[in-house]
Amino acid sequence: MSRIKIAPSILAADFSRLGQVVKETEEAGADYIHIDVMDGHFVPNFTIGPPVVAAIKPHTSIPLDVHLMISEPLRLISEFAAAGADIITVHAEAVQDLKSAIKEIKKNGVRSGVALHPETPVAVLEGTMEELDLALCMTVNPGYGGQTFIPSSMDKVRELRELINRSGFNVELEVDGGINDSNVSELLLNGADVIVAGSAVYGAKKSLSECIERLRNPE
Ligand code: DX5
Ligand code: ZN
């Protein structure tokens, strides 16, 4: 099995010093920088857009994992790609045709991801595995950092792992929302490959490297 990846979500970081934050996060051993984009429409909250992604880009060399929680995401793919996104994830609930959305992302030279809201069945991803690079299983309702993990998402992660394995394609399984030292072990057992964590990395009292290491190798 390949090494577990940790993707700290900068939503929980100090926005006034994002350049420094992503640099420190890379130095602390993170694998991706997870960037939560919210438009005040697909979700009530409003966060950051392409200019901020472009501002962060020169401060780190690890991949920028851009999670688009926005309506009609296809209209902005090229802008996020040009800003420096390395992975672009759209929500299955926000696009009409998943296969063409994935194609559109890849056409822009970035890795493609699809996210599933907690209520969206994993079956919607059937038939997309060949082109897909990353499947994101939301473990809270998208919209805010610092929420409580939804316990039923454990089963869903397992189901998604089975779907990926059955397909035989190399799709990363990312989990996002309410993840911390107490639930990460079970997520890893259920087959998660990429762990997103906001509060458990930037909101903890420990150093960034300790937080990242604990998520990668929980006790
Ligand atoms: C939720 C976002 C998450 C969130 C994770 O809508 O997609 O990435 O920032 O933050 P924590 O780890 O605090 O739940
Ligand atoms: Zn996210």
- The DSSP call for residue 182 is T
pLDDT more than 90, % of the chain: 98
> What pLDDT was estimated at residue 159?
98
Strand order in the sheet with 194-197: 5-8, 194-197, 172-176, 134-138, 111-116, 87-91, 64-69, 33-38
Tell me the CA–centroid distance for residue 146 and ligand 1, in Å: 6
Which atom in ligand 1 lies closest to the alpha carbon of residue 143? 6
Q: What is the mean pLDDT of residues 142-152?
A: 97
Question: With the C-alpha atoms ordered 49, 50, 56, 57, is the resulting torsion angle positive or negative?
Answer: positive
| Ligand showing the shortest atom-to-Cα distance for residue 38 | 1
User: Mean pLDDT over residues 128-143, rounded?
Assistant: 98
Mean pLDDT, residues 80-93: 98
Please give the pLDDT value at position 219: 80
pLDDT of the residue at 153: 96
Name the residue with the closest Cα to ligand 1, atom 4.
145
Q: Kindly state the average pLDDT of the residues 26-31.
A: 98
> Minimal CA–CA distance to 152: which of 137, 172, 166?
137
* pLDDT for residue 213 is more than 90: yes
CA of 194 to the centre of ligand 1 (A): 13
- Ligand 2 mean position to 120 CA, how many Å? 16
Of the candidates 97, 31, 89, 90, the one whose C-alpha atom is nearest the C-alpha of residue 60 is 31
CA 98 to chain CA mean position, Å:
17
Q: What type of residue sits at position 104? A: E
At 1, the pLDDT band (50, 70, 90 cuts) reads low
Best probe residue, ligand 1, of 6, 9, 195 (max atoms within 8 Å of C-beta)? 9
pLDDT at residue 33 in the model: 99
Res. 212: pLDDT tops 90? yes
The predicted model gives 184-210 an average pLDDT of: 97
Partners of 89 in the beta sheet?
67, 113
Give residue ranges with CB within 6 A of ligand 1: 9, 11-12, 34, 36, 67, 140, 142-147, 176-179, 196-200
Please identify every residue annotated as catalytic: 36, 176
Atom of ligand 1 lying closest to residue 141 CA:
6
Report the atom number in ligand 1 closest to the C-alpha of 43: 6
CA-to-CA distance for 22 and 208, rounded, in angstroms? 11
DSSP 147: P
Residues 137 and 153 sit within 8 Å (Cβ to Cβ) = yes
Rounded Cα distance, 68 and 114, in Å: 9
- Looking at every residue in the chain, the average pLDDT score rounds to 97
Q: Using one digit for the tens of pLDDT, what is the confidence trace for 33-85?
A: 999 999 999 999 999 999 999 999 999 999 999 999 999 999 999 999 999 99
What is the reported pTM? 0.98
Cα-to-centroid distance, 182 and ligand 1 (Å):
16
**Per-residue tokens: 89:** 């994830």
Note whether 69 and 37 are within 8 A (CB): yes
